[in-house]
Amino acid sequence: MLSKQGGSSSQSSRHITPLSALLDEVVGDLGISEKIIECNALLVWNNVVGPSLAQYAQPIRVKDGILEVAVPSAVWRTQLKFLAIDIVNRINHNIGSENIRELRLINRQHKKVQGEAT
């Protein structure tokens, strides 16, 4: 049975929580919010560094605020060292957090993508 108070007053007393707020709460309760931020850092890499650099330098993982990046040679490692502070700042800006503190550059050939020039 409906209340005699009317629909409008009882509805206005209810608090409607946006789905995004509920998801943020669940993610926080699960303790995975930092992992999601770390994954976002990997996802924005290509946009942050651009296609030319992304072709040669690929993010591997984030651990304790350090983004590990595979580079094919010492030449590319040296080039990225000069850009590292700017790249970290742009990644943090894109993910809306200061979780990434530094880049760790690792000499490792990345796998060729089908159709990629040799």
Task: Identify the CATH number of the domain in which residue 81 sits.
Answer: 3.30.300.180
Q: Is 87 contained in some domain?
A: yes
- Would you say residue 56 has pLDDT above 60? yes
Q: Is 63 contained in some domain?
A: yes
Mean pLDDT of 41-63: 93
* Predicted local confidence at residue 90, as pLDDT: 96
Q: Is 96 contained in some domain?
A: yes
Cα 84 to Cα 6, 27, 35, 39, 42, distances in angstroms: 62, 30, 22, 19, 15
Residue range(s) defining the domain that contains residue 34: 16-107
Mean pLDDT of 39-53: 92
Q: Tens of pLDDT along 95-114?
A: 998 989 999 999 886 555 44
- Mean pLDDT across the chain, nearest whole number? 82
| Confidence (pTM) | 0.69
Domain total in the chain? 1
In whole angstroms, give the CA distance from residue 20 to residue 118.
44
Q: Is 6 contained in some domain?
A: no
